[in-house]
Structures are given as structure tokens and as C-alpha cells.
Amino acid sequence: MESSEFTMPHGQNPLASTGEFLTLCAMFDLLTDPVAVVSAENGRTFFNHAWLDCAHRNNAQLASVHWATQLRSFDREKLSNAPAQVRQLHGQSEREVRLKTDRGPDRWFTLSTRLQSVDGSYFWLHVLKDIHEQKFLQRELERKNRLQTGVMKASVDCIAVIRPNGALSHMNQAGCEALGLEHDSGFGMNWLELFPVDMQEEASKAFTIARRGESARFLSVSRLPGADPVYWDNILTPLKSPDDRVTTILCVSRNVTDQRKSELRIQLLMREMHHRSTNLLAIVQALVRKTVPDPSADYVRTLDARIAAIAKNQNILLQGQSSGASVLEIVMSQTVGAGSVEPERLLIRGDADVRLRGEAAEVISLAVHELTVNALKYGALFNECGTVAIGWSVSDQAGGRVFTMHWQERDGPVVAPPARRGFGSVVIERHPKSVLGAAVSFRQLPSGVLWELQVSADRVLAASAL
């Protein structure tokens, strides 16, 4: 191959003698890289020990073999113009090839070809550099990249790859179609500018959190000309290097338009149901007043107040239908009957962020209403100096997280235990036990009424408060 592409300079000779050739080859035997030395004149070839070890052959087996035949045929074809390239590159060329072996798979090498001259003798020097492990890792990376690209292309979610500086590095086909971008646009634009102006502040906050190395989430809406708004649930996930630096931020946006429409329909239905239930409660109150002989009787006022408490509770539940009803709002709405009492006599303490599920809110709301009525009629709010402490908390205990609530009266008039237990005791004690499975204690102590409720947090707290 070499001699057909190379013309010896006039007056120059090839390797002059066997002794000179062997001396030169002995030098290459000391190298750890595989080397083939080929005379430019007569094609005489020498393989050093490293080459023989890679090919699992000896010199006798390769004595009459052209060095290039040990390469895969596809790689040999790439070498047909190597001598010409060597001249163009001022004496050297490099390419990737595979060396055949009788044991195991072929190995990948970088083949460096150089035309050398020693004492007027010219020869081709072929040196192999083992890149088999690098090639394996490269192909594995390419396989993973193809897999990831395929997954991104097949996904119906919009997937954006963002650099830490906010520039859009890549977006899958679904994302391009949703935002009206050309898939081969090259990207590089500012990711935040893909959102409507009124959405960019929320997107920027989430991106800042992701740049710090934490996942973030926000809702957005896209509006293309002539199309209905599309609602998106966006999740930003930071990808980190081994030294814990954020190198890339992955944004997966899911189309939640149908879910959003369903939520709006549910909200509309809830408002309609609330309107109808409020009207129904008002009708019940009117029927009670018109049916009883004396609408001003104490029991009528009590029944009227209980119906009003239910109506207030419905308002709270409607306002917190997705996140639950706030315990603070429940307490405030049901103690409003004590509005003529000085504020410092109602001591309300508890986490304002604790929210209850609908059923738990109804049960506790009615209990607080009943305790308030009793305190105004007989207890600590009946006189001028009594106080009521209302508190709640969530704590970790041996059996799990527990929601605790208490009502404690002090400095009120001495109250004797009732001769019989009426509907109030059902609302205060029995109802929470039967509906919520709560542990309820209701005691009329010399210092005042003490009501305590304990229940598993999982049974009463809204999902947003867990």
C-alpha cells in the first residue's frame, strides 16, 4: 500500500541492511504502544512486542502478512489514501481503527501514520494508541443520548433543557409545538421570555430556587393567537455535577387544561350548592319560627343559633374547598357570638396554617359553637372577669402525628354538673368520638370547664397541612 503511493527521492536508498533494520526495530520493541515499521521501498515489515501481544500473534505468523490486513476491512478502506494525506499534513495522519484479534472482540485504536527517514532510509511508522475504553464510554454515552432524545421526542409533556444562565439549550417536539417554536431554531433564547409577561415573575422565582439546587414548581398559562388558553404545571429539577454544582435545569411542563376546566366547573357547582344550602337553612329557620307557639322561646333561639353555626361553617368550607378549612377561621367564626366580650378574655393560640378536612371542620365547628354558647350562658363568659383559652397544635408522638385542641375556662362562676346530658353533650363529646375516632375529655372543674380533643393528624388534617 505504502510503496505504491510513495516515490523515493532520487539517490536515496531504503533500509540499507538487515542489521540497521533490526537495530531500529529493537528500539521500537521498548515502546508500550503497538508499532508497525514498514520499508517504503520493499514493504518489509516489523511488528514490535506490543503489537504482537494485542494481535495474539508472533513474528513467524505475521512474517508474510501485510500490516493493514490485521485491521477490519472497513478500516482498511479508509487507509487507501493515507500516504497522500500524510504528504498534505506534512508527514503525519491520524484515524480511528479496529485491530483484529483471535481472542475476544476487536479493540479500538488511534492509528498514527508518519513517514520517517533515518540515515537516508525511508520507512512508514504506524503507531497504535489504545482508545478501546474511551470508545466504549463514548458509544454508551451516544446510546444514552439517543435513548433520552427518543424519550423526550415521544413524551407528550413539554421538556425544556435550560442552562444556569437562563438560556434555553433544547426543547422537545411537544414543547416547540405548544409554544409555536421551530424545532430547528437553534434555541439560545431566554427561557423566561417564553412565558407571558404576567407569568414571568412566578417562573423567575422557581428558576432561582432551581439554580440553588432545589426542585421548584409553578403554574402557568400560554396563549397562542387564535387558540384557547393552555394551562401548565411546571416542575423544575436541577441536574448537578459530581462537585454538586448545578449544570443544567430540566423543566417538565404538563398540560393541565382539562384538570383546570374541571376545577372551575367544580367551583361553580360548589358555589351553586352553597347558595342552595344557605337558602335551605334560611327556610328551615323561618319554618321553625312560624311553627312553634313562641318564636322568642329559649330553645328556639338555641336552635336558630345552631343552624346559623352550620351556615357559617359552610362558608368556611367553601372558601377552603381545595386546601381545607383553617382552624383559626373556624374558631373565630364560631366565637363571634361572644363579640360583646372584651377581646382579652378570649385567648386564642394556634398555628394559623393548620387546616382541617371538611368532615373534621364540621364536627369541631359545632363543638366550638356549643362550648361558646355554654360559656356565655353559664360559664366563664357569663361574668365580667372569666377567660377562655382556646388552643390547638400538631405534634409527633409515639403512634404518629397527633392533632390536639383544647378549650379551658377560668375565673367563671362555679357550675355544677348538669342533672342530665342533652344535645350539647352529644355535639361536644360523642359526635367527635364517633365521627373522627377522637379521644375527647369534657370536665367541669372548680376552676372552669376543660374540653380536650386528641386525634390522629392523618384523619383530620387537610393534605396541604400534612
Cell numbers at 288, concatenated:
321553625
Q: Which residues of the chain are in CATH 3.30.450.20 domains?
A: 2-131, 155-255
What's the CA gap between 382 and 65, in Å, rounded?
Answer: 114
Q: Kindly give the parts of the chain with pLDDT less than 50.
A: 1-17, 85-90
**pLDDT computed for residue 44 by the predictor:** 75
Are 51 and 61 in contact by the 8 Å Cβ rule? The answer is: no
CA atoms within 13 A on the CB side of 154: 6
What's the CA gap between 159 and 178, in Å, rounded?
Answer: 11
Neighbours of 208 (CB within 10 A): 12
**Residues in contact with 27: Cβ distance below 8 Å, sequence separation at least 6, in sequence order:** none
Beta-bridge partners for 301: none
**pLDDT computed for residue 466 by the predictor:** 57
Residue 56 backbone zone (phi > 0: left; psi -120 to 50: alpha; other: beta): left
**Residues in contact with 4: Cβ distance below 8 Å, sequence separation at least 6, in sequence order:** none
**pLDDT computed for residue 337 by the predictor:** 62
- Write the class of the CATH domain 2-131: alpha beta
Q: Which residues of the chain are in CATH 3.30.565.10 domains?
A: 322-465
pLDDT in tens, 7-53: 333 333 334 445 666 677 788 888 888 888 887 777 777 888 888 88
For the domain made up of 322-465, give the CATH fold.
Heat Shock Protein 90 (3.30.565)
What's the CA gap between 84 and 87, in Å, rounded?
Answer: 5
**By three-state DSSP, how is residue 344 classified?**
helix
Neighbours of 89 (CB within 10 A): 12
* Nearest CA among 403, 466, 412 for reference residue 444: 412
Are 435 and 359 in contact by the 8 Å Cβ rule? The answer is: yes
Are 182 and 175 in contact by the 8 Å Cβ rule? The answer is: no
Mind giving me the DSSP string for 287-306? Answer: HHHHHSS-TTSHHHHHHHHH
Are 14 and 123 in contact by the 8 Å Cβ rule? The answer is: yes
Torsion of CA 295, 300, 301, 302, to 10 degrees: 180
Cell numbers at 353, concatenated:
396554617
For the domain made up of 155-255, give the CATH fold.
Beta-Lactamase (3.30.450)
Q: DSSP state, 428?
A: I
**The dihedral sign for the CA sequence 174, 217, 222, 198:** negative
Neighbours of 279 (CB within 10 A): 10
Are 370 and 449 in contact by the 8 Å Cβ rule? The answer is: no
Q: Which long-range contacts (CB under 8 A, 24 or more apart) does 397-402 make?
A: 399/456, 400/456, 400/457, 400/458, 401/456, 401/457, 401/458, 401/466, 402/454, 402/455, 402/456, 402/457
pLDDT in tens, 250-296: 999 988 888 888 777 766 666 666 556 666 666 676 777 667 777 77
**pLDDT computed for residue 88 by the predictor:** 43
- For 461, phi then psi, to 5°, come to -80, 145
